[in-house]
Chain A
Amino acid sequence: MADQKKIDKVTGVETTGHVWDDDLQELNNPMPKWWLYIMYATIIWSIGYMVAYPAWPLASDYTRGVLGYSQRQVVMDQIAAGKAAQSKFRDAIAQAELNEIQKNPELLEFALAGGAAAFGGNCAPCHGRGAQGFKGYPNLNDDDWIWGGDLEAVHTTIRHGIRNADEDSRQSDMPKFGQEQLLEKAQINDVAEYALSLSGAATDQEAVGRGAEIFAEQCSACHGENGAGNTELGAPNLANGIWLYGGDKKDVVQSIHTGRGGVMPPWHTRLDDVTLKQLAVYVHSLGGGQ
């Protein structure tokens, strides 16, 4: 059968030899030439490709190809090229004082872009992508700064962090007035009312009066006589409308009862000096910088 060609009588075209339903046969028309040539071309191409490029996996390695092409190397080269292209600005930022960076439009643009990228990768998990903050994690857009909002202060805070093992980190400690039984429950209620009154949010004027005394005794050393806070000690301003741990009575009572002491890691161990400077300039530019 194989050596005998079957020809379809009607068309004169060779058939494949298969017969269905008594007399139904399949014509063996050739593939279109263009199709065939393209297929041959792809076969030739694939051989060339396998010789030129990495192709076959081996036990512990792979065939490297005569061109020595490696996607990983391409990425490394691109990163190196990118770094080299940035070096002009990075070197300038490394040399410059923070406020000099702010004054130079080119450096400022570069620092803001780099700062934004570094912020997204490092700071956003706690402070939010838009630096809007969450309960316990300060909003960096506003003009209320616990540890100071000028460029140097922001830079120091980022560099060394807050209440961590770094020897230069920001340190302060709010007593746990309730837990350590420094104040009675009623006293905590009164001083909370007083604290709320500083921003006009108190509801019980008698309690405010009683709380004022306790505040002067227990709190004013850090938060100041008028509750305006102290950035040296990281004592928040209690007299404005911004509450890091919530401004409801319940929240304020809890803050006094358990004390507050948010922590932030030191970043100089993870980020280079230039990035830290860029971050400081970026955070400062978010609108609240002083």
Chain B
Amino acid sequence: MATTLDSYITPKVENEPVEAAPGVMRHDVKPVNAKDDRPLYVDRVAIHPKLVHGTFRNLKWIVMVLTLGFYYLVPWLRWDRGPTLPDQAVLIDFADQRLFFGPMEIWAQEFYYVTGLLILASLVLFLVTALAGRVWCGYACPQTVWTDLFIMVERVFQGDRNARLRLQKAPWSSEKVWKLGITHVTWLFISVLTGGAFVFYFRDAPTLAYEFMTGTAPYIAYVFVGVFTFTTYALGGLAREQVCIYMCPWPRIQGAMYDDHSMLVSYRPHRGEPRGPHKKADTWDGRGDCVDCKQCVVVCPVGIDIRQGAQLECIQCALCIDACNEIMEKVGRPPNLIAYDTFHNLKAAETGGNVPVKVFRTRTILYMVLIPAVLGLMTYGWVNRSELQLNVLRDRNPLFVRLSDGGIRNGYTLKILNKRHETRQYKVSIKGLPATAVDPKLDFVGFKEADPVIDVVPDSLRAIRVYLSLPKPAVSQLKDESTDLTFVVTDIEDGTVTRRGTKFRSPKK
């Protein structure tokens, strides 16, 4: 069994180049997950993906620039909310339990908007996966983006695949120390920036940046920069594809997300097989287009051979499509030997058939219905969100107090939430108790007036104790020991009204 182990250590320097086709060298490489004789315990094989050019590589560069740009720059966007509130456009303010998203401000108890957003994001993810497989994994996942970035750093300092393989094999020298050292230092530098950018979402970015520079930032900020520096460096620089294969649950869930109609990065065996080297004078009749150059293997960031079919390691980054198309152009064959295709179409192609892509299927229709439904529900909720809210806590101990004149008194704590960004004034009234000659009496603790104007400062909650006394004649009119009662809070300025039902408790009849 030990004999096979060595052959799995992929990075063999390609010392005897073989021509796969005129001008196309064949790489002596074995996919890391080759089936034959694979022992249960194998060390990780370092993967050195070769740089490739083409449509999907360009798309990935664009996605990288957009996602990284978004991640690093968003905390610096400003949004004016008046003098009392933070002016950071996107801020997760744990201290005050608020989430700020531009014009939106979410209080802690309104976190369901974020839940809705996450549900929406999952549904979109499900839909995209059902249509085109692991698009998220291949293009936009932070693990993919940062790994891509780190491989780029590697390439800048150590050269492309072959140079990196040689360096890995080479004995230690000052050149090797320097090249590996500068690579890791750059990775760490990027990691610190990554962790640094993350904490900016939780505290005013310019303030925190200044605090970092003067060494006065809160202790917890350094801790989180440290944590994210470590995770970025370890996951993006060291662990790489192992995160996707062994750590991440999403790839395993995705297996249930796509079906025979999903567009997946696939090798088209009906076109490629039988594969083999091709010489200039040879005919293409009776053989496949695949010249077995293994370009698709060497560009693969997870080190697999797409020609083995769908594999759990494949993150569907489509770089093998670019690699193969480059070769197809060189050997003068039509492109897209490797391309986005469906299982259905691949199967039909075996017998020369062609199945058009079926976009509308039960699951995609379900997602397409659910997405606008959730979006609509959230929008409805947001549009009808009141910026004045009232909570009423009725005293439970004691339930009621008997007064010396025979009346009954209940105590309440009113919590008035002013979500506006300016101080507002409110009045409180009640509804629902039986009308008698003597009105029920409201006493506001801390106010002299019988019907006080209550100021609530911007973006805050004010709790007020209120005693409601019913005179004896009114008490005798109550039908039950528990009577429905409504507190009404009115915004003096614009007449906005909010109500909250509660009970008035009295002795048993």
Contact = CB atoms under 8 A, between A and B. Distances in A.
Contacts of A129: 397
A105 B398 contact: no
Given A108-B446, A287-B409, A287-B467, A130 B404 contact: no
B450 to A, nearest CB: 15
B406 A132 contact: no
Given A285-B465, A287-B409, A287-B467, A142 B403 contact: yes
Contacts of A237: 404
A108 to B, nearest CB: 6
B406 A241 contact: yes
A144 B403 CA distance: 7
B19 interface: no
Contacts of B36: none
Interface string B388-409: 0000000111100111111001
A285 B445 contact: yes
B273 interface: no
B397 A142 contact: no
B405 A240 contact: yes
A135 B446 CA distance: 31
Interface in B104-120: none
Given A108-B446, A285-B445, A143 B404 contact: yes
Given A12-B1, A108-B446, A287-B443, A128 B403 contact: no
B230 to A, nearest CB: 14
A139 interface: yes
Looking at B395, B402, B404, B443, which has the most chain A CB atoms within 10 Å of its CB? Answer: B404
Interface size class of A (residues with CB under 8 A): 20 to 34
Nearest to B404: A240
A241 B402 contact: yes
B402 A142 contact: yes
Contacts of B401: 132, 139, 141-142, 287-288
Contacts of A94: none
Interface string B119-147: 00000000000000000000000000000
A242 interface: yes
B445 A242 contact: no
B411 interface: yes
Nearest to B43: A33
A146 B445 CA distance: 23
Interface string B411-432: 1000000000000000000000
A242 B402 contact: yes
Nearest to A30: B41
Contacts of A287: 401, 409, 411, 443, 467
A130 B409 CA distance: 14
Contact of B397 (A12, A132, A240, A241): A132
A149 to B, nearest CB: 10
A120 to B, nearest CB: 11
Nearest to B445: A285
Interface in A120-134: 128-132
Q: Say what secondary structure dominates the interface of chain B.
A: loop
Nearest to A284: B445
A104 B396 CA distance: 28
A132 B467 CA distance: 15
Contacts of A102: 446
Contact of B395 (A108, A130, A142, A288): A130
Contacts of B409: 141-142, 287
A105 B446 contact: yes
A139 B1 contact: no
Interface string A130-157: 1110000001011110000000000000
Interface string B1-25: 1000000000000000000000000
A288 B133 CA distance: 70
A103 B226 CA distance: 49
Contact of B404 (A12, A108, A132, A144): A144
B404 A142 contact: yes
Contacts of B467: 287
A27 B406 CA distance: 86
A204 to B, nearest CB: 22
Interface in B350-400: 395-398
B85 to A, nearest CB: 22
B398 A130 contact: yes
Interface string A103-119: 00100100000000000
Nearest to B410: A287
Q: Which of A108, A128, A287 gathers the greatest number of chain B CB atoms within 10 Å?
A: A287
Nearest to B397: A130
Nearest to A139: B401
Interface in B50-82: none
A5 to B, nearest CB: 15
Nearest to A104: B446
Contacts of A128: 397-398
Which interface residue of B396, B397, B401 has the most chain A CB atoms within 10 A? B401
Contacts of A130: 395-398
Contacts of A131: 398
Given A285-B465, A287-B409, A241 B398 contact: no
B397 A242 contact: no
A130 B410 CA distance: 12
A105 B405 CA distance: 30
A242 B402 CA distance: 7
Contacts of A12: 1
A237 B398 CA distance: 22
A115 to B, nearest CB: 12
Interface string A223-240: 000000000000001001
Contacts of A132: 397-398, 401
A12 B3 CA distance: 12
Interface in A85-105: 102, 105
A91 to B, nearest CB: 21
A107 to B, nearest CB: 11
Nearest to B443: A287
Contacts of A144: 403-404
7 contacts: A130-B395, A130-B397, A132-B398, A141-B401, A141-B409, A241-B402, A285-B445
Closest 7 CB pairs of A and B: A130-B397, A240-B404, A132-B398, A141-B401, A144-B404, A287-B467, A130-B398
Interface of A: 12, 102, 105, 108, 128-132, 139, 141-144, 237, 240-242, 285, 287-288
Given A12-B1, A130-B397, A240-B404, 6 more contacts: A132-B397, A132-B401, A139-B398, A237-B404, A285-B445, A288-B403
